[in-house]
Amino acid sequence: MGGNPLYYNPYPYYVYNHYPNWGMSILPTPHHVPRQLAMPTPTTSPYPPINTIKLKTSARGMQTIMQQAQLLTEKIEGSDQFAHDLKNAAQLSNQDEVQKLISSAGITTKFEAKYTPDNIRIVLKEGGCCSLALVLYW
């Protein structure tokens, strides 16, 4: 094919280096990769051994919280008067009445209630293990 620049390339994705050799002399020479940059071996792990006790405790606590959330949502859905009183107390920024109404639904776990013109956010908490946020729009 002589000096013809248009020739068949059987490896179309390989990029040929057409730079002169003198340009390569300014590149750094390969050196040893420091140990801390090397990939860890499969036998060493930066994480502690797996312990599921806290996760299982959280799951058990979450079941209690979900039952409490069910009590509250059933009360709101099943009673027009309760839903009206809850929204009215929130609109009047009567935090004590909002707390009292939520507790009257049978909620025994600790909770925080915050409300805006768009929704009420109730966070149910079970000790230090877990929490559940209910966001109900009105």
Task: Determine the Cα–Cα distance for residues 73 and 138; give it in Å rounded to an integer.
Answer: 13
Identify the pLDDT of residue 34. Answer: 58
In order along its 138 residues, the chain shows pLDDT tens digits of 455 566 565 666 555 555 555 555 555 555 665 555 555 555 677 888 888 899 999 999 999 999 999 999 999 999 999 999 999 999 999 999 999 999 999 999 999 999 999 999 999 998 888 999 999 999
- For residue 114, CA distances in Å to 69, 102, 120, 131 come to 16, 12, 6, 15
Residue ranges of domains in the chain: 53-137
Predicted model pTM: 0.62
For residue 21, the model assigns a pLDDT of 57
